[in-house]
Amino acid sequence: MRFWVSVILLAFITLRAMRSGGAPEKYAAATFVIVFTLELMTNLIAGRPDFRTVNWFRLGLDLGVFACLLWIALRANRWWPISICALQLIVVAGHLSALMKLNAIVGVYWGMTVIPFYLEYLVLLVGIVAHSRREARFGSYPDWTRFQKVG
């Protein structure tokens, strides 16, 4: 059931981002689609993770997602990417706590590495809606901030 909720929610958000989002929304949606696809392929090949030990592949994926989202957050002319980065940092912390064996409870590792993704999807959806409303009200505006060289 959770799998289909994830698929439907991600498909809806991705279609909405492609239809009415700007470049940051599209990049974030593409990041989520890529990581979801890679994780699905890994689960089909190696089986579902049991969350009893560190899942090294997911740790690598989640670090990659964090790097992509941080890149978007540092450049986007939006408020929502930094919120998604904070949520993704919780995911990475979940892996690190399992790596350091700070929590032996399987549910905690699962919760810290799975639940934030749903919140990230919702924050992205709110960001897409905010972008389309802002564009409808004020017209087109830059997707990215301009960096000025110092000195």
Q: Please say if the pLDDT value at position 126 is more than 80.
A: yes
- Domain for residue 129, yes or no? yes
Q: How far apart are CA 48 and CA 26, in angstroms?
A: 28
Q: Quickly list DSSP for 98-110.
A: HHTT----HHHHH
Q: What H or E segment, with its residue span, contains residue 119?
A: helix 106-138
Q: How far is CA 92 from CA 42, 103, 127, 147, in A?
A: 19, 14, 23, 28
Span 26-69, pLDDT tens digits: 999 999 999 999 999 988 888 888 888 888 889 999 999 999 99
- Domain for residue 25, yes or no? yes
- Domain for residue 144, yes or no? no
Q: Please say if the pLDDT value at position 104 is more than 70.
A: no
pLDDT at 148: 53
Residue percentage of the chain with pLDDT more than 70 = 95
- Domain for residue 150, yes or no? no
Range of the domain at 40: 2-138
The total number of structural domains in the chain stands at 1
Q: Tokens 């999807």 — which residue?
A: 121
